[in-house]
């Protein structure tokens, strides 16, 4: 199975900060990667698909980039409602595999 390694596993940031989360795949996955946000007690919600395509209705402060083995999710200006856990998911080679998650907390 492809291993997805997310970093950092957690971070503390302030409202207005620029935040970057990285996901590294154990082998090349083209651009077959999604990013998800999950708030406590809620279902995940997809933010990005195909590495850099925004899901409909997602605020423009969320952006994704990368291909091959290195991917990033950037939040350009962190808002109070963005404090959550973020996961990447590769779907290039089955089984699809998630990263371990990055918890974004309030500084």
Partner 1 sequence: EVQLVESGGGLAKPGGSLRLSCAASGFTFTNAWMSWVRQAPGKGLQWVGQIKSKTGGGTTDYAAPVEGRFTISRDDSKNTVYLQMNSLKTEDTGTYYCTRDWSGPGDYWGQGTMVTVSS
Q: Count residues near partner 1 (CB under 8 A).
A: 25
The answer to whether residue 94 forms part of the interface with partner 1 (CB under 8 A) is yes
Q: Which one of residues 22, 74, 76, 100 is an interface residue with partner 1 (CB under 8 A)?
A: 100
Determine, following the binding rule CB under 8 A, whether residue 34 of this chain makes contact with partner 1.
yes
Query: What gap in Å lies between CA 80 and CA 100, rounded to an integer?
Result: 23
80 binds partner 1 (CB under 8 A): no
CA distance 64 to 87: 12
Closer to partner 1 by Cβ: residue 83 or 98: 98
Q: How far is CA 15 from CA 12, 53, 67, 80, 101, in A?
A: 10, 24, 29, 6, 20
Among 5, 11, 44, 72, binds partner 1 (CB under 8 A): 44
């Amino acid at each position: 199975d492809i291993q997805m390694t997310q970093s950092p596993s957690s971070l503390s940031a302030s409202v207005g900060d620029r935040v970057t989360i990285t996901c590294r795949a154990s082998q090349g996955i083209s651009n077959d990667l999604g990013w998800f946000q999950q708030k406590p007690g809620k279902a995940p919600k997809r933010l990005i698909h195909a590495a850099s395509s925004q899901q409909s209705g997602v605020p423009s402060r969320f952006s994704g980039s990368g291909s091959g083995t290195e991917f990033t999710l950037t939040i350009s200006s962190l808002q109070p409602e963005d404090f959550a856990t973020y996961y990447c998911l590769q779907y290039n080679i089955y089984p699809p595999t998630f990263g371990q998650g990055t918890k974004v907390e309030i500084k």
